[in-house]
Structure 1
Amino acid sequence: MNKFIAIAMCLTLMALMFGCDNAKKIENSYKWPILEGFPKPQVPLDNPMSDEKVALGKQLFFDKKLSANQQQSCESCHMQQFAFAEPLSVSVGSTGTVHRRNAPALVNIAYNKTLTWAHDGITSLERQILLPMFDESPIELGITGHEVEVLARFKTIEYQQAFNAAFPEQPISFELIVKALASYVRSLISLASPFDKYAYLGVDDAIPAAAIRGMNLFFSERLECHHCHGGFNFTQSTGHEQQLIDRRPFHNTGLYYVESSKAIFGYPSKDIGLAEISTLAKDNGRFRAPTLRNIRHSAPYMHDGSVATLAEVIDIYAAGGRNIESGQHQGDGRANPMKSQFVKGFELTPDEKKDLLAFLDTLTDDTFLTSPKHGFNEKE
């Protein structure tokens, strides 16, 4: 081997080793707000967590200057009091474009193995954040075509200081904006609910007896809720430093079975779920199971926000799917042949339903929904 090539390879390897070692040191200095014994989320080596990145990301998340027309920020569709979701069936972009999907809650998203409602290839926040920023169909922040103008807005003294603290000696760029936003969103950890106190801190009276009965129903084979909403994050879409395997958390829940030319295998053609990406018929109507943490505050529900209340969600699963008796999407989802094996229906007494709802309420983390650490204070 040419000695100059060998020297170059050696220097490159040393640089990579130094870079990884430096990233680990930065990552190790960040204190995750997690319970003792809980695994840490996975974080890309090229974007280790730091308090400075989180602070910058938070500032950007709430700033409408990030949209081309300065009409929306990330927070416009992800509001803290609604578990960083919004109380609309589907989102509306900065230009007024009505989207087809409900804004997902950003709860413990650092632990998500997959992101968005129906894409198994988007597994990092750095990649996912590009969609609302630059996507043209539908338009969200609408930056495409306005990159120079938008980026110039962040070259103020205040932002330059914040960027320099987070990314020393690097020029302001969209790459750094994305990294900062990803860091902030990863910091949105919710592990201080009454259920957490009961299950992980051993506080026996942290949840009422009705909720304990509801918990037993939730984790029973009779209801089978835990198959799609299991683990400490109550979603099958979970990954962390001790769990690297993708458990393929996409399911057809029998929400639709439209028998018309405007449907594909029962789901409205405007959104057939994972099949749009995989092109596989078996994936028609499959959407990612969301976390149930803070679920009481993230209504409406389902990928299209078509279910208004938790009580209605339970009724649909108890029936084994949703039967729409009239209207555009008329059809009996209970008969959808692509429906998950876990959505088979069950009987529930009125008291048992109350108990189940009581359990779901124990997944509410009031601190997460109100803490200034996550939210925006105009005096900051």
Structure 2
Amino acid sequence: MRGSMMTMLGALLLTSVAGAVRPEWHWPTLPDGVAAPALPEGMSMTAAKVELGRRLFYDRALSQNKSMACADCHQQARGFTDGLPTHVGVTGEMGVRNVPGLTNVAWRTGLTWTEAGLSTLEAQAMVPMTGSKPVEMGMADGDGELAQRLSADPCYRGLFARAFPGTASRIDYAMVTAALGAFQRTLISFGSAHDRGAQTPLARKGAAQFAVSGCVACHNGPDLTDGQVHYVGTAAPSEMDASLYGGKPLPPGFEPPPERFRTPSLRNVAVTGPWLHDGQSPSIESAIRRHAAPQLADMDMPALLAFLDSLTDRDFLENSAFGPPPAACPTGI
């Protein structure tokens, strides 16, 4: 199924709209029990938006000094993370959270490590572009500047016109984020050894332990995340209590408890390090050991790590449809 799904990804379904033929997005074949992701109200998927969004995702023109693209923090080979504890912004200000991966992000309803109220990719895209705490791409007051930059490029003028017909050559943040959201919704991964039933005996043993250890209480569903925020006792390495498995117990008198972070998806987890919300775990094992979970003390760690490694989808990490677009403008623009 893996090869056929990747072949179908990006396929076009021609439909008639107002008397014209427009290419609409056709979702790939998904596993049984997995429905196509829901779209926010007013948003639509078209091949033209995906093509535009891919080019924008890799374009450093979206940052203040043209030094940072979305893809600098979200690198395909790393499961769309960046390999750093946190990422420095265009002004030199260091980020405060580890860059989350984008695998199957179309199905996420919570898009930050904490409960920030961001539930759409379009809203979330505004945070790195325009946020000031911390500054990432530094475009807080750059709506006009961004429109000027993109409008100066004939290729972008054509791509925006095709993706957003009838907008009178307008380019604004809403259109940019709609295109970015469309591209990110194509980052679909269901081709790991776990998905294909091709796990090694050691990985199967780890999967069984994962199920009985309590990990599935939070890491469940198709992407091994419940999408919720929890306190699981993860402490900075310097704060670890050796009497526990690694993390720290719930401090008394706190309601709600501190350090509540969203359960990350475990798809492609083996390539997304360093791990946890602060990026202070240099290995998956150290990330596990930072959880206040004494029942994990007797876990067969090699088996558990083999299971987590079986969640890696190499085709996804190498699929050219998710990589940088061709330098040349698409034909017909």
TM above 0.5: yes
Q: CA deviation at 1:187?
A: 1.1
8 Å CA contact retained: 1:106, 1:185: yes
1:255 aligns with 2:234: yes
Identity of aligned residues (%): 33
The one of 220, 234, 238 aligned to 2:224: 234
1:84 aligns with 2:83: no
Letter in 2 for 1:308: P
Counterpart position of 1:32: 27
Counterpart position of 2:70: 74
Deviation readout 1:132-178 (Å, 9 max, x if unpaired): 11112211111122332222111121001111111112121111001
Q: CA deviation at 1:73?
A: 0.6
Q: CA deviation at 1:284?
A: 1.5
Counterpart position of 1:364: 312
Structure 1 length-normalised TM? 0.73
User: CA separation in 2, counterparts of 1:344 and 1:122?
Assistant: 33
8 Å CA contact retained: 2:91, 2:135: yes
Counterpart position of 2:6: none
Letter in 1 for 2:27: W
Q: CA deviation at 1:346?
A: 2.5
Counterpart position of 1:158: 155
Q: What is the Cα-based RMSD across aligned positions, in Å? A: 2.5
Alignment of 1:315-330 (within 5 A): 315-317=289-291, 320=292
Q: CA deviation at 1:28?
A: 11
User: CA separation in 1, counterparts of 2:202 and 2:22?
Assistant: 41
Consecutive unaligned residues of structure 2, counting only runs of 5 or more, are 1-16, 241-246, 249-253, 329-333
1:99 aligns with 2:102: no
1:184 aligns with 2:183: yes
Counterpart position of 1:111: 107
8 Å CA contact retained: 1:90, 1:304: yes
**CA distance 1:164–1:215, shift in 2 (3 Å):** same
The one of 134, 141, 165 aligned to 1:168: 165
Counterpart position of 2:263: 289
User: CA separation in 1, counterparts of 2:107 and 2:294?
Assistant: 28
Q: CA deviation at 1:315?
A: 2.8
8 Å CA contact retained: 1:27, 1:49: no
1:348 aligns with 2:327: no
User: CA separation in 1, counterparts of 2:290 and 2:134?
Assistant: 30
Deviation readout 1:161-202 (Å, 9 max, x if unpaired): 11111111212111100100111111111111111111xxxx
**CA distance 1:146–1:121, shift in 2 (3 Å):** closer
Deviation readout 1:185-225 (Å, 9 max, x if unpaired): 11111111111111xxxxxxx111111111111111xx111
8 Å CA contact retained: 1:301, 1:308: yes
Q: Paired residues, what number?
A: 294
**SS, match of residue 61 in structure 2:** helix
Consecutive unaligned residues of structure 1, counting only runs of 5 or more, are 1-21, 199-205, 238-248, 260-265, 268-279, 321-342
User: CA separation in 1, counterparts of 2:30 and 2:78?
Assistant: 23
Alignment of 1:25-64 (within 5 A): 29-37=24-32, 38-64=34-60
Tell me which structure has the larger Cα radius of gyration: 1
**SS, match of residue 151 in structure 1:** helix
Q: CA deviation at 1:345?
A: 3.2
User: CA separation in 2, counterparts of 1:300 and 1:345?
Assistant: 24
Deviation readout 1:314-356 (Å, 9 max, x if unpaired): 3334xx3xxxxxxxxxxxxxxxxxxxxxx3433325xx21111
User: CA separation in 2, counterparts of 1:106 and 1:296?
Assistant: 14
**SS, match of residue 43 in structure 1:** coil
Q: CA deviation at 1:33?
A: 2.8
User: CA separation in 2, counterparts of 1:283 and 1:142?
Assistant: 32
